[in-house]
Amino acid sequence: MNNKKKAKIIIRILNKIYPKVPIPLSYKNTFTLLVSVLLSAQCTDVNVNNVTKNIYPKYNKPKHFVKLGRKKIERLIKRIGIFRVKAKSIFYLSKTLVEKYNGRVPNTYVELEQLPGVGHKTASVVMSQGFGFPAFPVDTHIHRLAQRWGLTNGKNVEQTEKDLKKNFPKKYWNKLHLQIIWYGREYCKARDCYGISCKICKSCYPNRKKPIITKKA
């Protein structure tokens, strides 16, 4: 079965399970989306949401975080992994947004990826969920599943993103990357399916018997 056929099967199954797909991270505006995505590195979305639900009602603009300063930001997010590094990034990206962009989040990859602590994956999520731009952010769930489903050779997330964009029509990207994340958490789990038991794995590889070992990003 070629990748285009697998892509059609995957879209059909995911649309049936997730006709309306929830956003994993809670946020108030594009800026707080950016902050939440930055916080989610090496941390669960649930933990991020639990921390930010007490922050965003009061602090939700770049100027708020500039005024807070690094130490106060650290105290607010101390329950999140590598909080000192993330607090530093949040402070300096907020400062940059205030000084360079009049407090607004830029809507281009080039400008976003120049902000402190913002890499390509974070920029892709903001472009997709914040601005509605067709994007295919690849996290660890998507990277793992793309390998299991035979859509990429799994060398790195950059290659996985290119391969997925090549196999799926652009009009599906924004919804599809969220659908795959939820599916990976609920059905094709890292330590459960192993490429042989979930509906998509069985549909794409009906004769597969041995577990698939995936390469980490």
The 3 state secondary structure assigned to the chain is: CCHHHHHHHHHHHHHHHCCCCCCCCCCCCHHHHHHHHHHCCCCCHHHHHHHHCCCCCCCCCHHHHHHHCHHHHHHHCCCCCCHHHHHHHHHHHHHHHHHHHCCCCCCCHHHHCCCCCCCHHHHHHHHHHHCCCCCCCCCHHHHHHHHHCCCCCCCCHHHHHHHHHHHCCHHHHHHHHHHHHHHHHHCCCCCCCCCCCCHHHHHHCCCCCCCCCCCCC
Q: What is the pLDDT of residue 217?
A: 66
Q: Are 200 and 149 in contact (CB under 8 A)?
A: yes
Tokens of 2: 């070629």
Q: Could you give the residue range(s) of every CATH 1.10.340.30 domain in the chain?
A: 30-130
Closest CA to 182 of 25, 8, 6: 25
* CA angle, 6 then 8 then 10, to 5°: 70
Cα radius of gyration rounded to whole Å, the chain: 18
Topology, domain 30-130: Endonuclease III; domain 1 (1.10.340)
In the residue annotation, 166 being an active-site residue is answered as no
- Residue range 3-20+136-204 in CATH 1.10.3720.10: no
CA-CA distances (angstroms) from residue 80 to 51, 85, 86, 120, 184? 8, 11, 9, 21, 23
Residue 16: CA atoms inside 13 Å, Cβ hemisphere, count?
Answer: 8
Rounded to two decimals, the pTM is 0.90
Q: What is the pLDDT along the chain (217 residues), one digit of tens a residue?
A: 888 999 999 999 999 999 999 889 999 999 999 999 999 988 899 999 999 999 999 999 999 999 999 999 999 999 998 999 999 999 999 999 999 999 999 999 999 999 999 999 999 999 999 999 999 999 888 999 999 999 998 788 899 999 999 999 999 999 999 999 999 999 998 888 988 999 999 999 999 888 887 777 6
Q: Could you give the residue range(s) of every CATH 1.10.1670.10 domain in the chain?
A: 3-20+136-204
Q: Exactly one of 139, 163, 166, 175 is catalytic; which is it?
A: 139
Residue 2: CA atoms inside 13 Å, Cβ hemisphere, count?
Answer: 4
Tokens of 190: 């890292």
Q: What is the pLDDT of residue 153?
A: 87
Q: Exactly one of 45, 121, 162, 171 is catalytic; which is it?
A: 121
In the residue annotation, 61 being an active-site residue is answered as no
